[in-house]
Structure formats: C-alpha cells, structure tokens
Amino acid sequence: MAATSAGTGVAFEVAQFARAALKCEQANRLYGVLGFRQPGNTHDPNAIAVMGQWIEKGWFGAEKARLAHVGMADLAAAIVEAYGPERNPDLSLYSIYLSDNGYVKIKVIALRP
C-alpha cells in the first residue's frame, strides 16, 4: 500500500515528514505513521488518512512530537473490512524515497489485525 497525496498543502507536509524521518533515523529518534479512518469522507466512506509522526529536537534539547498529513491509504476498503468499521488500522512505515528534485514516495503497510 502506498500513501498517495494530491495538492500543494499535502505535498509540502509529505516532504516535511520525509526530511524529518531521515533526520530521526540518523539521530536515533522515533518516527512512524498512523492511520485514521474518515467515515464522514464524502468521496469514500472507507477513507483512511495517513499521518506521519516524529520527534523533533527544539531549543535547549526539548523534544516536541510533530504530526503531518502525508496522504490517503490505497486499498482502504480492504483495510476497513479487515479491521472492522470502528477501529483505526495499525500502519507501519515500509520505506521513504526522497529524490534530489523533491519527489517523495512513502510506502506503508497495514498490519494484520
């Protein structure tokens, strides 16, 4: 499953998350993805928003948790069927590709319920 994005606002957040995740990887800080069902979505009642989360170092060593919308889950209907209508899916970040020209691709795995 890939997190897909459209629009400049989401594209900015995807790139922000990708850069932050790479920094977290180098600094051995936590990062990952979360899935949130959106049953009120008018385009797809099975929609699942994919959010990137990471820990950012601030001034004087303080840590701050950050969250960014990085896309919508592909195959949402199958995921909702497996998890049921009320439960948010457990997602795992599989890979991040960030090119020199700003292209970003994030692959996410829905874990088995």
Phi-psi region of 60 (alpha: psi -120 to 50; beta: other; left: phi over 0): left
Domain that holds residue 63: 2-110
The structural domain count of the chain equals 1
| pLDDT tens readout for residues 55-83 | 998 888 888 999 999 989 888 999 999 99
Distance CA 42, CA 66 (A): 27
Structure tokens at 33: 């993805």
Per-residue pLDDT at 30 exceeds 70: yes
The DSSP result for 36-71, as a single string, is: EE-TT-SS-TT-EEEEEEEEEE-GGG-EEEEEEEEE
pTM: 0.85
